[in-house]
Amino acid sequence: MNIFQGIFKARDKPKNLGSTSFLWGGSSSGKVVNERTAMQMTAVYSCVRILSEAIAGLPLFVYKYGDDGSKDKHLDHPLWRVLHDEPNPEMTSFVFRETMMNHLLLTGNAYAQIIRNARGDVVALYPLMPDRMTVDRDSQGRLYYRYRKNSDDAPEVSRNKPSDVILAPSDVLHILGLGFDGLVGYSPIAMAKNAVGLAIAAEEYGAKFFANGAAPSGVLEHPGTIKDPERIRQSWQSTFGGSVNSNKIAVLEEGLKYTPIAISPEQAQFLETRKFQINEIARIFRVPPHMLADLEKSSFSNIEQQSLEFVKYTLDPWVVRWEQAMNKSLLLESEKRDVFTKFNVDGLLRGDYASRMTGYATARQNGWMSANDIRQLENLDRIPAELGGDLYLINGAMTKLQDAGAFANTTITETEEPSDGQSNTGSKPKQVPRQSKQ
């Protein structure tokens, strides 16, 4: 036991390797990059919104395995209402998951405080701000969560000291993204701060370009000595600065001469830079560019396939992270064998109407879907059981492989027809051997 305690003590403290850069916000472009400045970029905002709303909008259910191995919705489980309807009295399930996913995408971690009753059942979940949470170890190497309080908290919470709240891992729902130690996730914005910073700088350059009248910066030259250059600069800016003054004709007096010194945006490939940064940010979050309204490399023939790949390669990993974190933290040890949570992504994987109907027809004819199974997926009312809505049918021409040719040499019964053309009543059956085909 002492050996294992020594190993635990020697473990490194969990940390986000990108957190320092994330908090200070330094980037090579000279722009401050953090979760708030990054969200001012339309590409970042779109990616975060697409993924957050996708996870928040997926149906989330609690299931239980039956004795025969089947799985059924566990409507009576305490988690059903918490996850499916209201995680807490202040939020709906959609808003809670959207908020948590927003934290996860911007900081690499999402935390929620777990409120339990006397039996240990989860009765509420409250999101916690990730920038105020620290994951640490005690002297025995055991994990704990330290949450920093501030004046924004409830009065009864922020009134007393100390300023930190210590939470056990069993009291925190922690969903983390890609990380170094598997305990704390990286901040995607911090890890890609230079790409985001370049996008911010390009957008700011374009805004200032139009703010200056869509004209390059330049120099006002005077043949003599100007006594008050600041007055002339302010007069020029107020008269010709801004996009509303871009078409005004400048009248220069006293020998003044305007000489532009900046290169044009086309020469600086300004538009190409902004377009490339959209793809860079889409690459960070693994979102197809066409979902960010960039249709340059998309067509009507491949958008559907790209949308299916978005579900498979982008949403599925996040769904698995959510499901496993909830099963680990929200379920009692005694029920983890039989109860589990699961998102339903079938609706996102459905193709167009013709493709769905073809798939349903195949499933119906091969006996592994009933009419009501299909109608449930299409959000249609069930057909009553007495009308055959729950019947499972199969093509009658199909047979087992081992029965193929089993009736090749059997005899069939034929009725002899009377030779005089009279009725065949009372005629005797005749046994005719069945000839197998060679």
Distances (CA, A) of 29 to 35, 49, 186, 288, 435: 16, 25, 21, 26, 87
The tokens describing 393, both together, are 């049918």
pLDDT at 51 over 90: yes
Q: What is the pLDDT of residue 21?
A: 40
DSSP string over 397-414: T---GGGTTTTTT-EEEE
* CA 317 to mean position of chain CA atoms: 8
pLDDT of residue 152: 66
Q: Is the pLDDT of residue 427 over 60?
A: no
- Give tens-digit pLDDT for 407-424: 556 665 655 555 555 555
Which pLDDT belongs to residue 126? Answer: 95
Q: Is the pLDDT of residue 438 over 50?
A: no
83-110 in b/e form (b: 16+ CB < 10 A) is bbebbbeebebeebbbbbbbbbbbbbbb
Is residue 178 within 8 Å of 185, Cβ to Cβ? yes
Residue 2's pLDDT is 46
Is the pLDDT at 385 greater than 90? The verdict is no
Residue 360 — very low, low, confident or very high, per pLDDT cuts 50/70/90?
Answer: confident
pLDDT at 10: 46
Per-residue pLDDT band for 24 (boundaries 50, 70, 90) equals: very low
Does residue 182 have a pLDDT over 60? Answer: yes
pLDDT at 56 over 80: yes
- Give DSSP secondary structure letters for 68-109: TS-EEE-TTSHHHHHHHT-SBTTB-HHHHHHHHHHHHHHHSE
Instruction: Check pLDDT > 50 for residue 157.
Output: yes
List, for residues 318-328, the tens digit of each pLDDT value. 999 999 999 99
What is the per-residue pLDDT for 80?
93
pLDDT above 70: percentage of residues in the chain: 65
Q: Which of 115-119, 178-182, 339-343 has the lowest mean pLDDT?
A: 178-182
* Domain ranges, ordered by start, for the chain: 1-129+173-212+263-344, 218-261, 350-403
Quick one: CA dihedral 279, 283, 285, 288, positive or negative? positive
Greatest alpha-carbon pair distance for the chain in Å reads 138
Which token pair is 75? 């409507």
Tokens of 193: 């701060």
The structure tokens 């021409």 sit at 397
- The lowest-confidence range among 128-137, 146-155, 356-365 is 146-155
Q: Which of 25-39, 350-364, 379-393 has the highest mean pLDDT?
A: 379-393
